[in-house]
Amino acid sequence: MLKERLRRTVMYAAGNNPGLLQNAAIYGADSVIFDVEDSVAVSEKDSARELVYHALKKLKFPCEIGVRINHISTPWGYDDLEYLLPAKPDYIRLPKGESGEEIKDIDNIITKVEEQQGFEPGSIKIMVSIESPKGLRNAYEIASASPRMIAIAIGGEDFAASLKTEKTKGNIFTGGRELFVARSMIVFAAREAGIQAIDSVFSDLRDEETLINEVMLVKELGFDGKSCVNPRQIDLIHQVFTPSEKEIDYAQRVLAVFEEAQAKNSGVIALNGKMIDMPMVIRAERVLANARAAGVYQKEGI
């Protein structure tokens, strides 16, 4: 599993619902999370854990599957790890992450299970949701705590609750203000640590227009993808995160004129009246890499 694999959508499926576990991966999300945390009532924690274990062991999935465990400070967290790691999820999603120590603790437990089970060392990864001011303050420490870390995410509902405010609907111009600083700081921490940044769920399943606006906002902030809760949100999110034909065409032209400039021993050139130099080249390469990963651009090189 590549650190930089495409994770435009990371969709949750409640771990106590066998139908959801069976079908969640068929809708085209880049990544799916089987949840035994907040979508599962306390009375169902044991049965959900068992259901998720058997789903992971018995079913074949077309995308990567993570498991959101309960936090290790709760009565269920360590049992979730002990019970579910031998079923070899692609990654553990730790909710409400607050320190690098927690990640190191989980890393050590995974290392032991990998040894015991004969799994490839390092094959089980970790993704952490930041859902509190303390987690945000330690975001870089968390993001860089283990080579298993593939992404940090913001859990916006809990984050807003911990601020004693509401999670408003994110929009380019209004709304989402309560998460604006936290979202940016999570992107900064992820980028410094060299891992991905994943935005929070959007809970109003009927409001497609605001979902798209929110995805545009978080893409602009630098996020690689978004958590989601329902299959009908997948295509809308992919639509924003997948480079358009126009973006691909522009990226190709940027790389082509830059190559021309370099042939003339110059590091800067104009394209349609706009200066093109190294930062634009890096962005153009990223657009083409994402387009290739999304299957909308096949050429290697430019």
Ligand X SMILES: O=C([O-])CC(=O)C(=O)O
What are the binding residues for Mg(2+)? Answer: 131, 158
**Total number of residues shown for the chain:** 302
Interface with ligand ACO includes 13 (CB under 6 A)? yes
Of the residues 16, 31, 39, 129, which one makes contact with ligand X according to CB under 6 A: 129
Query: Which pair of tokens denotes residue 84?
Result: 């579910």
Site map (CB under 5 A) of Mg ion, residues 187-226, x = contact? ----------------------------------------
Interface with ligand ACO includes 14 (CB under 6 A)? yes
Of the residues 77, 155, 156, 170, which one makes contact with Mg ion according to CB under 5 A: 155
Choose one: 154-162, 179-187, 207-215, 236-244; the region binding ligand X (CB under 6 A): 154-162
| CA distances in angstroms from 121 to 65, 87, 90, 110, 283, listed in the order given | 18, 15, 13, 9, 33
Nearer CB in complex with ligand ACO: 90/107: 90
Place of tokens 């999110």: 237
Interface with ligand ACO includes 3 (CB under 6 A)? no
Interface with ligand X includes 251 (CB under 6 A)? no
> Count of residues binding ligand X (CB under 6 A)?
12
Considering only CA atoms, which of 9, 30, 38, 5 is closest in space to residue 211? 9
Interface with ligand ACO includes 168 (CB under 6 A)? no
**CB of residue 156 vs ligand X: minimum separation in angstroms?**
5
Interface with ligand ACO includes 31 (CB under 6 A)? no
Tell me the DSSP string of 206-245.
T-HHHHHHHHHHHHHHT-SEEEESSGGGHHHHHHHHSPPH
Choose one: 109-117, 190-198, 206-214, 230-238; the region binding ligand ACO (CB under 6 A): 230-238
For the chain, give the longest Cα–Cα distance.
Answer: 70
Q: Which residues bind ligand ACO (CB under 6 A)?
A: 11-14, 19-20, 23-24, 35, 38-39, 157, 201, 229-232
